[in-house]
Chains A and B, each alone.
Chain A
Amino acid sequence: MKRTIGILTVLLLGLSMATVFAAGKQEAKPAPATAPTTVRFVWFTDGPDKPAIEGLVAKFNQGNPDIKVEFSIVPFAELNQLLTTQAAAGQAPDMARVTEPYRFFQYLLDIRPNLKNANFPKEFMDEPMKLVTGANGEIYGIPHDLTMNGPFVNVSLFKKAGVALPASDKVTWEEWMKLAKEVKEKTGVPFAATADRSGHRLDGFLQSYGGGFFTEDGKGLRISSPETRKGLEDFVRYHKEGIMPLDIWAGGTGYVGANQQFVNGLLVFYISGNWQVAQFNETIKDKFEWKAVPNAFIKQWGGMPGGKFLVAFKGKAPTQVVRLMEYLGSADSMTEYASKAMFLPTRKDLLQKGVQYPVRNEDMNTFIKGLANLPKSAFVDNYHLRFGPVANEVRDRITQAITGEITVDKAIELAEAKARELLK
């Protein structure tokens, strides 16, 4: 009897496991030839780009009935670890919008063999293209939109305080901080000035001092140079003096934005970037007057370029993925996207021709002008393959200096030591 029960148990277990495996195998069968090929496209949004890209994806789906683009949005803060985990498990999407393509190089598809137009990669700006180019010339994607760091001012608060905005374009950070502090005291708003908690924003701040993270050849470091040191000391000092609040930079690790404080009219001077323009236009509306102003000028213009990239992952539909990429990177698509999303285009032809923005044209042109004024060192830093982790390290060490855990000198020493390790 016991023996019979044992045998029946084994048979039952075996049957249930076989059913599970068979079902799994059935699910893995390829779709019939007539069904469209699915292309999974993962995106993170800054806000105004969402309707623009959704519109383009819908148009592509309509014009290409043999392809079905499954479009999904993930939070920016989770993007890198989500894609890394998925790619490592062989479950990466077919295409994704990323800021640090180098993280995924081992999983990415070289698009060259599947390009209809072999010249396609050359149609984009040279510096950003380097970030999607492999060691042996592989092309893993395209720069899709360019960004430019820069400050915004709450003009209404300046008027309310009776403080005039600077007449000249060439204003130092010290002058801006003094003005912001005066406006804050006269109007009673809680925040004078701040920057997003980001190594990228910090580097843009430092550029105006002639500082930065990497040497021009990209092989060395400039974190402890006198110019960078001066910039970092000032940045910490502004926090210690209460001009910049601890609320943004004293948080632990990770990106913290200050756009809510600006949108709510509580912040006089905000160092962020052009991607905020469309969002501010939608959310601030007529609540108060605001505008983009040029970056500070001390030894040179401050600011940092940035960008988002479309990268293709190795998968089952390389031809279809590249078709989508060529469509999204075409002059027509990019013109539509840049003007709707209020971003800067990355195609050489469009940058030369210019893009007409439906709203806030003056603000967008402030950023485009800033881009033209950027020193070469800003491009070297931003497009350095190790910029991400080095910027994170500098950001976190400076946070420690701001909260008084360590001195600025110690922060610089530790950040540079880590950066040296990362460059090996």
Chain B
Amino acid sequence: MKRTKIPLAPYLFLLPNMVVFSVFIIVPAGYNFYLSLFDTSPFRPAEFIGLGNFLYLLQKDDLFRRALENLVIFVAGDVGGMLVGSVIIGLLLNQKVKLRGFFRSAFFYPVLLSPVVVALVWQWILNNQFGALNALLTTLGMKGTPWLLVPHWSRFWSIFVHLWATLGFYSLIVLAGLQSIPAELYEAALVDGADRKQQFLYITFPLLLPTLMTVLVLSTIRGFEIFDHVYILTGGGPGTATLMMVQYIYRAAFQMDQFGLAASASFLLFVIIFLLTVVQYALGKRREAI
């Protein structure tokens, strides 16, 4: 019987990337899990406590629960907004209008900005005393609001600013998906008398679903990792109204010197994102099979 030769070359080409991936992702992730099993302090050797940190986080730590709750609210709002917003903008950018190129660039520009710059600018716009938004409202005869000092407004603006900064990226993905839908389908639909709403519901949306699954997966992962925009904009405040998981981890490690606790929170976040990704992937596969 002829033995099949396993080609070596592809694996050799993948090897450098796998080495880098192992060194910068696998090894630190492994060490993170190892660290999460210890109670650490700068003044004594680390003490092995097994799952003690995880039990503490899940049963006793109100700030961890608060961060998780805030994160779920943020992701729900952010991902929902991203899906709806990217479809609307994608549809608009797909129209044959003058200066279409300019509009496509304009929607993408915020994506190129540093999150720190975005958050600082919006912090200035939303400032209670000197912000541009309150100044505009006052000029129009309305009362200003301490936007970043009221919990529900602070949460709203955290989501809004993140959407503003990243929607352009997902809109381009949706635009690419829209452009891959054959034009003949719309022509045939027109011939059959389908209006724009029916065209959207029966052609655009079903064929755009795989693209939307990509947007859903990417935006969910990015949502759970949120840190920079919110940390600069609100600092997690007012109080802990916008305290997110990565900020909790940062605080536990660098402000409270509890590296073991921070590592366990980090591991739990990884598990949440991993499970969500697996579920979304499975749903996507099931849809393809259908």
Contact = CB atoms under 8 A, between A and B. Distances in A.
Give the dominant DSSP class at A's interface.
Answer: helix
Interface stretch (B182-190, B203-211, B213-221, B238-246): B238-246
A246 B256 contact: no
Interface stretch (A281-289, A366-374, A397-405): A397-405
Nearest to A393: B256
Contact of B43 (A385, A388, A402, A404): A385
Given A256-B235, A403-B238, A414 B62 contact: yes
B147 to A, nearest CB: 12
B32 to A, nearest CB: 13
Given A247-B149, A403-B238, A253 B251 contact: yes
B257 A389 contact: yes
Nearest to B259: A84
Give the interface centre of A190, A253, A404, A418 by most chain B CB atoms within 10 Å. Answer: A253
B20 interface: no
Interface string A233-249: 00000000000001100
A401 B193 CA distance: 63
Given A13-B15, A103-B42, A389-B257, A251 B241 contact: no
Interface stretch (A3-11, A50-58, A115-123, A215-223): A3-11
A210 to B, nearest CB: 27
Interface in B238-278: 238-243, 247, 250-251, 253-258
B29 to A, nearest CB: 16
A13 B7 CA distance: 16
A414 B128 CA distance: 30
B256 A422 contact: yes
A251 B238 contact: yes
Interface string B1-26: 00000011100110110000000000
Given A247-B149, A403-B151, A252 B242 contact: yes
B235 A246 contact: no
Contacts of A250: 149, 237-239
B129 interface: yes
Interface residues of A, number: 39
A80 B12 contact: no
Given A190-B129, A414-B62, A252 B257 contact: no
A57 B100 CA distance: 57
Pick from A247, A252, A253, A404 the residue with the most CB of B within 10 Å: A252
Contact of B235 (A103, A253, A424): A253
Contacts of B255: 253-254, 388-389, 392
A191 to B, nearest CB: 9
B42 A105 contact: yes
A106 interface: yes
Nearest to A252: B236
Nearest to B56: A421
Contacts of A422: 41, 256-258
Q: Is the interface of B mostly helix, strand, loop or mixed?
A: loop
Contact of B128 (A17, A247, A266, A393): A247
B239 A405 contact: yes
A392 B239 CA distance: 13
A34 interface: no
B134 interface: no
A81 interface: yes
A251 B148 CA distance: 9
A399 B239 contact: yes
Interface in A184-237: 190
B36 interface: no
A399 B237 contact: yes
Contact of B9 (A5, A84, A252): A5
A173 B247 CA distance: 34
A361 to B, nearest CB: 34
B129 A247 contact: yes
Contacts of B16: 13, 17
Contacts of A402: 239
A338 B16 CA distance: 54
Given A6-B9, A13-B12, A246-B149, A400 B42 contact: no
A422 B240 CA distance: 21
B155 to A, nearest CB: 12
A102 interface: yes
A386 B90 CA distance: 54
Given A9-B13, A400-B239, 16 more contacts: A13-B15, A102-B42, A247-B146, A251-B237, A252-B235, A252-B241, A253-B247, A253-B251, A388-B257, A389-B255, A392-B255, A399-B239, A402-B239, A405-B240, A405-B241, A422-B257
5 contacts: A9-B12, A190-B129, A252-B243, A392-B256, A396-B240
Interface of A: 5-6, 9-10, 13, 17, 80-81, 84, 102-103, 105-106, 190, 246-247, 250-254, 256, 266, 385, 388-389, 392-393, 396, 399-400, 402-405, 414, 418, 422, 424
Q: Which 3 A-B pairs have the closest CB atoms?
A: A252-B236, A403-B239, A252-B237
